[in-house]
Amino acid sequence: MDQKFMDLYDDYAKGSLDRREFLKKLAVLVGSTAAAVALLPLIENTYVQAQFVPVDDPRLHVENIKYPGETGEVLAHLARPKGEAKLPAVIVIHENRGLNPHTEDVARRTALEGFLAIAPDALSPLGGTPDDVDEARSLMRKLDSETTMKNYVAAVNYLKTHPQSTGKVGCMGFCWGGGVTNQVAVNSPDLKAAVPFYGRQPAPEDVPKIKASLLLHYAGLDENAGIEQFEAALKKTSVEYKIYMYEGAGHAFFNDTGSRYNEEAAKLAWERTIAFLKEKLKT
């Protein structure tokens, strides 16, 4: 698949283009609207199927579950190593397009590192994440931030008492999910470790509420507003934290299905994340 097609689709998937403008630009690239419409399923399939760990990986037990949340049952993708007894647990929080195959894949990658991992679907109160990216993004804007945060805090409680959990729970999130990860850290005293990737920072007055250890990943080419204030607030508390800035990498550098994927930064951030989670949740 030509990278220029994937770059264009990435702009569309992340909201820079609406569907009409995306198809118009794709038609210019391939020569006609009919060709663009015919090519679209192939582009979408390539975008969606990019995965490191397949659903049927024989090393894992994978299932879609429901757990009790603030708004009722919350849908989630669960993965854990086969043959393990009790494991530390990790919540994986998706970007602003709902729970997609990429985030489910990240949950499976996490499970392969020796964790009980779940990726909750923030759109559960609205029926779950639809296949259509535009619809998913539109639905995300309709979510109530307070109840959404409580649904993720409920995931901490669910994993803390899960029969295959050691009771130690961490959380990681990306973009929109990075901001939610920070909010879970503020609102759940039971959370042991939090890893937001380029997420919106909590209000300075909320920082003293954080009990979890923090590992903060930021992209050097991102706007990064609020980091200095966040760190200043952290320094006034006893919160353990580390901040890493990935120079030359842009926002969403970890997402290997997008054009802003930076392999070097993503691999380093992942290594740091897994080492951090193992240190905080397995010792």
Distance CA 273, CA 178 (A): 13
Task: Considering the candidates 171, 175, 190, 217, report the single residue annotated as catalytic.
Answer: 175
Q: Is 217 a catalytic residue?
A: no
Distance CA 158, CA 271 (A): 27
Give Cα 198 distance to the centre of its chain: 11
Q: Is 77 a catalytic residue?
A: no
Task: Considering the candidates 11, 190, 222, 256, report the single residue annotated as catalytic.
Answer: 222
Q: Is 175 a catalytic residue?
A: yes
Q: What angle do CA 41, 54, 135 make, to 5 degrees?
A: 40
Q: Which of 174, 93, 180, 133 is nearest to 10 (CA)?
A: 133
What are the tokens at 81?
């190593």
What pairing do the DSSP bridges indicate for beta strands 191-197 and 213-219?
parallel
Distance CA 124, CA 17 (A): 26
Task: Considering the candidates 77, 94, 162, 251, report the single residue annotated as catalytic.
Answer: 251
Going from the C-alpha of 77 to that of each of 80, 108, 114, 222, the distances in angstroms are 10, 9, 16, 29
Supply the DSSP string of 120-173, one letter for each residue: E-TTGGGTS--S-HHHHHHHHTTS-HHHHHHHHHHHHHHHHT-TTEEEEEEEEE
Which residues are identified as catalytic? 175, 222, 251
